[in-house]
Amino acid sequence: MTKRCKIPAVVSTALLCCALAAASAWAGPRFTIGVTTVLASQKGRVIDPSLAPMTRELRSIFRYTSYRLLGRDRVVLGLHESGSVALPGNRVLAITPQGVSANRALLRLVMHKNRRRIFQTRIQLINHGSIIVGGPRYRNGVLLFKISSAF
């Protein structure tokens, strides 16, 4: 390829990169969603050390004496892009970021169990904040899902 041919090729590649960057910018923010699954029970007094900050206040509200970490999941989603996380007990949590308002992510959460919808909710989650969704019985305790979001 001659020097004359190379210059337009480089310029067009740069323009294409700029266009792609602009297109990705137009697509809106990226949401990093974290889901921490915890089994809380009244059997034993084991608290997973990594859950200590989370359980500090929970212990003053609930009667559970044991908090075990069952899993951590993380999905990165664009606006209106859906992602799902498999949870214990044949449950699946589908998450869809729907926007940003006043430093809060607007999230749509749908929980399924055995392909049956358990609930659907729309929440406004503060940036770098979290919500704890809990209540389903599992084994000898209940499941807690800490859902956090950052954008």
Partner 1 sequence: MKNDHRRCDAEALSRFLDNEGGAQETDRLRRHLETCGACRKRLAKQRLLSRLARKAVAGETARADFERLEAAVVSAVHRQRPYAWQHFTGWIPVKKVSIPLATAVLAGLVYFFVAVQRPGFRAPSAIINSFTGPISSVMIIETPETRQTILWFDENSAATDDDKAV
Which residues bind to partner 1, rule: CB under 8 A? 57-58, 60-61, 89-90, 104, 106, 111, 113-114, 116-126, 129-139
Asked whether the beta carbons of 119 and 81 are under 8 A apart, the reply is no
Q: Given the complex with partner 1, which of 30 and 138 has the nearer CB atom?
A: 138
Least separation in angstroms between residue 54's CB and partner 1 is 8
Least separation in angstroms between residue 151's CB and partner 1 is 14
Least separation in angstroms between residue 123's CB and partner 1 is 5
Asked whether the beta carbons of 133 and 143 are under 8 A apart, the reply is no
Q: How far is 120 from 151, CA to CA, in rounded Å? A: 22
Under 8 Å CB-to-CB from 60, ≥6 apart: which residues?
Answer: none
Q: Given the complex with partner 1, which of 30 and 113 has the nearer CB atom?
A: 113
Least separation in angstroms between residue 41's CB and partner 1 is 12
Asked whether the beta carbons of 53 and 59 are under 8 A apart, the reply is no
Asked whether the beta carbons of 151 and 29 are under 8 A apart, the reply is yes
Q: Given the complex with partner 1, which of 63 and 116 has the nearer CB atom?
A: 116
Return the closest-CA partner of residue 38 out of 6, 14, 72: 72
Least separation in angstroms between residue 81's CB and partner 1 is 19
Q: Given the complex with partner 1, which of 77 and 133 has the nearer CB atom?
A: 133
Q: How far is 13 from 31, CA to CA, in rounded Å? A: 29
Q: Given the complex with partner 1, which of 6 and 72 has the nearer CB atom?
A: 72
